[in-house]
Amino acid sequence: MNTKRKEIGNRIRYARKLAGLSQAELSERLQISPSHMSDIENGKKNIGLDIFMGITEELQVSADWLLRTDIPSVNAIQNQEISELLSDCTAWEIQTLLNILKEIKKAIQDSKARSQNDFLY
Tens-place pLDDT, residues 20-52: 999 999 999 999 999 999 999 999 989 999 999
User: DSSP characters for 31-56?
Assistant: TS-HHHHHHHHTT-S---HHHHHHHH
- Can you tell me the distance from the alpha carbon of 20 to that of 59, in angstroms, rounded to the nearest whole number? 10
* 58, 4 Cβ separation under 8 angstroms: no
Domain ranges of the chain: 3-67, 72-120
- Can you tell me the distance from the alpha carbon of 37 to that of 24, in angstroms, rounded to the nearest whole number? 8
Question: What is the pLDDT confidence band of residue 120, given thresholds at 50, 70 and 90?
Answer: very low
Q: Of how many residues is the chain composed?
A: 121
- Tell me which CATH homologous superfamily contains domain 3-67: lambda repressor-like DNA-binding domains (1.10.260.40)
| C-alpha 15, offset from chain centre | 8
Confidence (pTM): 0.62
